[in-house]
Amino acid sequence: MERLRSLRLGLVLDIRSASEARDFPNTAVQEVCADVRQLNVGTDVKARGTFWDVLAQDCSPASVQALVHKIYRAIPVAVAPALSVYFDHVAGHPAPTLIHCTAGKDRTGVAVALLLEILGVTRDSIVADYLATQQTISGDKIESGARKFAEIAGRILPDESLRMLAGVRADFLEQSYAWIERKHLSTEAFLRMNAGLTEERLEAMRGALLEPTAHSEKAML
């Protein structure tokens, strides 16, 4: 809580589904930020529904990989409304923003990757940042996830399937990028069409989030 207060957050984007937010109220961030938006983004490996129906029939590693890949191809469109809210916020008053879902790796991972992409961060650095999430996934989290997955799927998942559901892999994020580039050619074009990104909003983001390099400072002089 002390860390959250120190950030002086101006906006919290809660990109969990409505049912996730209802079952686990976001009381911590509500104490430190007056502007908390719940965007009801339900595309996640922990969302109940068709995903679990398929998993109950076949939880083999190949089936799980195909399912997770399908989810990552759907996530960009699912998180676009949240990014539109973020662009508005940065353009108006660029106070720090917290973006989170439940696991903090899938919906949040893709949303942050798209933001970094349009800021000019290299793809290798974005993937490395995304993969760093694995360092925060403890054995306790995996065990807890295993129990939950077994309960919902009605069977114990193979270890490899569990690792895919509980962790992150470069090929997951690549699915999001591949879908965007196939449908829209670039992340910027996708966000212009689906999240209200404009040149003015992009410049506001760059001004708020980027620091000048020594080279750019010299050029300005």
Residue matched to tokens 């676009």? 80
Say if residue 219's pLDDT is above 80.
Answer: no
139-166 average pLDDT score: 76
Give the span between the Cα atoms of 129 and 171, in whole angstroms. Answer: 14
What three-state secondary structure class fits 13? strand
CA dihedral over 195, 199, 200, 206, signed as positive or negative:
positive
Give the span between the Cα atoms of 71 and 76, in whole angstroms. Answer: 10
Q: Which residue has the higher pLDDT, 10 or 136?
A: 10
- Residue 122's Cβ-side half-sphere holds a number of Cα atoms within 13 Å equal to 3
Most confident of 38-42, 188-192, 211-215: 188-192
pLDDT given for residue 94 in this prediction: 72
Identify any residues that bridge with 13 across adjacent strands, giving them in sequence order: 37, 99
Task: Give which of 190, 182, 51, 208 is closest to 110, Cα–Cα.
Answer: 190
Q: Which of 11, 78, 85, 101 is catalytic?
A: 101
pLDDT given for residue 209 in this prediction: 87
Question: Strand pairing of 11-14 and 36-38?
Answer: parallel
Residues 6+ apart with CB under 8 A from 95: 8, 9, 10, 11, 89
As a whole number, the mean pLDDT across the chain is 86
Domains, the chain, with CATH or none: 2-220 (3.90.190.10)
| Residues of the chain above pLDDT 70, percent | 90
Give the span between the Cα atoms of 12 and 92, in whole angstroms. Answer: 15
Say if residue 179's pLDDT is above 90.
Answer: yes
Dump pLDDT digits (tens) for 17-74: 888 888 888 888 888 888 999 998 875 444 445 666 777 777 788 988 998 999 999 9
| Residues of the chain above pLDDT 90, percent | 47
Dump pLDDT digits (tens) for 84-116: 999 988 888 778 899 999 888 999 999 999 999
143-147 average pLDDT score: 74
Say if residue 218's pLDDT is above 80.
Answer: no
**101 given a catalytic annotation:** yes
